Structure 1
């Protein structure tokens, strides 16, 4: 049976950040139609990927820093 992804707007900022830290890598829904994979450290990324800071909406903070996504930099789209 499929598990639903944690929905960040219904959780506190601290709970979402703790979830990412505890699991290391997790799929989170940030709206009814949007989700992504968030990580706590670079070792959860593939070779050639770098970390990109990520903020998500939570119940108590519209821009809660929860960790990172893995990002493939290129000459044209590098954003630290």
Structure 2
């Protein structure tokens, strides 16, 4: 049984459709910016999502988690306080930390 010959442009529509579904850098969602959120809104986002990477200032960000279940097994948590729009020391959740290297200057 002989396969039909493929013509030029035969895959043009499917390839175009696949390219349209591919992630586009310009369409990526930005991180939530805690400095523009109220403390309650930021804490609520972490509580609902479990783990969120948030912008914490110009050029800085942090991964904030609801509980230790969102950290790797060898890490623990410490309370994370960030500057929200209405509270300069807002408790938003926890940061995952390595208990064996936390506070050290190097390996």
1:3 pairs, out of 8, 23, 29, with 29
Q: Of the two structures, which has the highest relative contact order with CA contacts closer than 8 Å and spacing of 6 or more?
A: 1
Q: Determine the structure 2 residue equivalent to 1:62.
A: 88
Query: Structure 2 residue aligned with 1:26, among 19, 30, 52?
Result: 52
RMSD (Å), alpha carbons: 1.5
TM-score by length of 1: 0.90
Go from structure 1 to structure 2 and tell me whether the alpha carbon gap of 1:40 and 1:2 turns closer, same or farther (over 3 Å shift): same
Task: In structure 1, list runs of 5 or more residues that go unmatched.
Answer: none
Runs of 4+, deviation exceeding 4 Å: none
- The residue aligned with 2:71 is 45
- Select the structure that is richer in helix: 2
Correspondence 1:72 to 2:103: no
Q: Matched residue pairs, number?
A: 78
More strand per residue: 1
The aligned residue for residue 43 of structure 2 is 17
1:75 positional shift: 6.3
Structure 2: gaps of 5 or more residues: 1-26
